[in-house]
Amino acid sequence: MVGIFVRLKLRLLANGLQDTARLVGFAVGAGLTVAVTPVATIGWLRLREQPELAADVGVVVFTAVALAWIILPLGLFGTDDTLDPARFAALPLRPRTLITGLYVGAFVGLAPLATTAVLAGSVFGLSAGPGSTVIALFALALEVALCVAVSRALASALSGMLRSRRGRDLAVLVGVLIGGSGQLVMLGTAYMSGSVDLMHSAASVLRWAPPGMAARAAPDAAAGHYLVAIAGLAGAALAVTLLLWWWGRSLTGAMVTTDASTSRAARPTGRRVGLHRWQPGGRAGAVAVRELRYNWREPRRRSAWVAAVLFGGIGPFLLLRQDGAGTGGVYVVCLTAGIVGLQAANQLGIDGPATWIHVATWRDPRDIRADFAGRNLALAMIGAPILLLIAVALASIAGSAGSALGPFALACAVLGIAFGVGNVASALAPFPVPESTTNVFSGGNTGQGCLAGVVVIGSLACTGLLSLPLVVGPVLARLDRPVLAVSAFLGGIGYGLVVAWLGRYLAGAMVYGRQPELLGLLTRREAG
């Protein structure tokens, strides 16, 4: 049975790669792996000379990799749902068989392979002698098993929460979890790369968590404590078992329950209040209102916002405390803006096959630009207040709430740039995001190689590059040239608006010429 799942997964991946865009995504991911692996291996081999340090580094790296497996899929890329459990619901499979098959199938893919490759050096780096090498091999296997299990189990459990109506209230907690752990990894790495002592104290705590237990096993064995080593491996194995049990529970639950959060009737038109009554004229206005409703009502977008806000929202606070740079640190809110703006990177794909409704009403590129304007407007209407809140909070912590103004202005400029980049990316490489009934974090990864990841990273990189000129404002402010600085800030906002407009302009022209092709791209997955 397991063999069937593995072959199915391989077949789905191979079929996905017949598409050029997906092939490019896969090639980029594979190239990165090939480039990073030798560097990592050399690092591991060097550590062999210093067993004490090696043990600490092992614990920290194993923990960081496991955390990355939790955060990156949930926060940015979406988990690989090539084998969508919902598709197996009608088959007479016992949960145990299903989970085993899905779990083993989950190891087939670039990400588990890359993880194994990068950590492979630890087998030699953490061991000394044949006995501990064998232990280190088991530790490596358990670490990868742990990564895959925790990523899947968490995605299923959180999906269950975010789909339900109560999930809206829980969403904040979920986000704290995702964002918080993300920041831990970022900060931890930044802290520890500078100090061996810090690394040691961190490792002395982290070694009691399952990834740490696995990492400590080989050094313990090398020191002659084989019982301790085996106990460590057993601890990690127990963690994998528990995660799989948890995954199985939430999965079987998700497969036999429906999305209850949508069965309520929408509020009748007559009693609409506040935002619900807002209905501006024009095409862009209609699209903006629809987008606002969607951001609230659709679990996938809700989860995207939660992830974006906390992924990009908690970090600045921690960075600010660490930085001690005073009010200058408030500018990290621009980073948040870049991450929030990422939601513009697949604006056509997120509508999927329903896009035909737009296609059927496009009369010229201006209509397409109006659609993008509406989408951008809706994202800005949610994103800008959040950025303002974060900027003001950061500035208050730094000592003066007034110092939020400049950073907020720049954050808005960055948001505009991100929209411009995202509009072009949406037109260039849209990927459908199939709505999974069992996983709201399902990215566009259904047999698609790494297209989603490439689009996300590429958009972030372009936004970063295009944002570089914005530095002028803060620099002038620091040089005490207030008049010039203010004009630079205003210029920055203007620049952001121009980039957003330019992206919209290009996207309109690009989409108009390829409507049938784009529609085909967005509809295709639904047939399966």
Instruction: Verify binding: residue 283, another protein, rule CB under 8 A.
Output: yes
| Nearest approach, Cβ of residue 297 and another protein (Å) | 4
CB 320 within 8 A of CB 398: yes
Instruction: Verify binding: residue 279, another protein, rule CB under 8 A.
Output: yes
Q: φ, ψ for residue 442 (rounded to 5)?
A: -60, 115
CB 77 within 8 A of CB 457: no
CB 451 within 8 A of CB 429: yes
| Nearest approach, Cβ of residue 281 and another protein (Å) | 7
What is the C-alpha separation between 13 and 19, in angstroms, rounded?
11
| Nearest approach, Cβ of residue 442 and another protein (Å) | 16
Instruction: Verify binding: residue 353, another protein, rule CB under 8 A.
Output: yes
| Nearest approach, Cβ of residue 302 and another protein (Å) | 11
| Nearest approach, Cβ of residue 388 and another protein (Å) | 27
What is the C-alpha separation between 328 and 377, in angstroms, rounded?
29
232 burial (CB, 10 Å; 0-12 / 13-18 / 19+) is buried
Q: How many residues bind another protein (CB under 8 A)?
A: 41
Nearer to another protein, 56 or 367 (CB): 367
Nearer to another protein, 49 or 364 (CB): 364
Instruction: Verify binding: residue 528, another protein, rule CB under 8 A.
Output: no
Question: Mapped to the 3 state alphabet, what secondary structure does 369-423 carry?
Answer: HHHHHHHHHHHHHHHHHHHHHHHHHHHHHHCCHHHHHHHHHHHHHHHHHHHHHHH
What is the C-alpha separation between 496 and 490, in angstroms, rounded?
10
Q: What is the DSSP string of 158-191?
A: HHHHHHSSTHHHHHHHHHHHHHHHHHHHHHHHHH
Cα 218 to chain center, whole Å? Answer: 32
Instruction: Verify binding: residue 293, another protein, rule CB under 8 A.
Output: yes
| Nearest approach, Cβ of residue 88 and another protein (Å) | 22
Nearer to another protein, 360 or 483 (CB): 360
Per-residue interface string for the shown chain with another protein, residues 357-396, x marking contact by CB under 8 A: xxxxxxxx--------------------------------
| ∠ Cα 302 305 306 (to 5°) | 85
Residue 201 three-state SS: helix
Contacting another protein within 322-351 (CB under 8 A): 351
Instruction: Verify binding: residue 19, another protein, rule CB under 8 A.
Output: no
What is the C-alpha separation between 501 and 305, in angstroms, rounded?
23
| Nearest approach, Cβ of residue 296 and another protein (Å) | 9
Contacting another protein within 405-464 (CB under 8 A): none
Contacting another protein within 205-264 (CB under 8 A): 259, 262-263
Nearer to another protein, 116 or 523 (CB): 523
| Nearest approach, Cβ of residue 345 and another protein (Å) | 20
Instruction: Verify binding: residue 274, another protein, rule CB under 8 A.
Output: no
| Nearest approach, Cβ of residue 496 and another protein (Å) | 28
Q: φ, ψ for residue 79 (rounded to 5)?
A: -80, 155
Q: φ, ψ for residue 259 (rounded to 5)?
A: -75, 95
Instruction: Verify binding: residue 294, another protein, rule CB under 8 A.
Output: yes
Q: Which residues bind another protein (CB under 8 A)?
A: 259, 262-263, 265-269, 279, 281-283, 285-287, 289-290, 293-294, 297-298, 351-354, 356-364, 515-517, 519-520, 523, 526
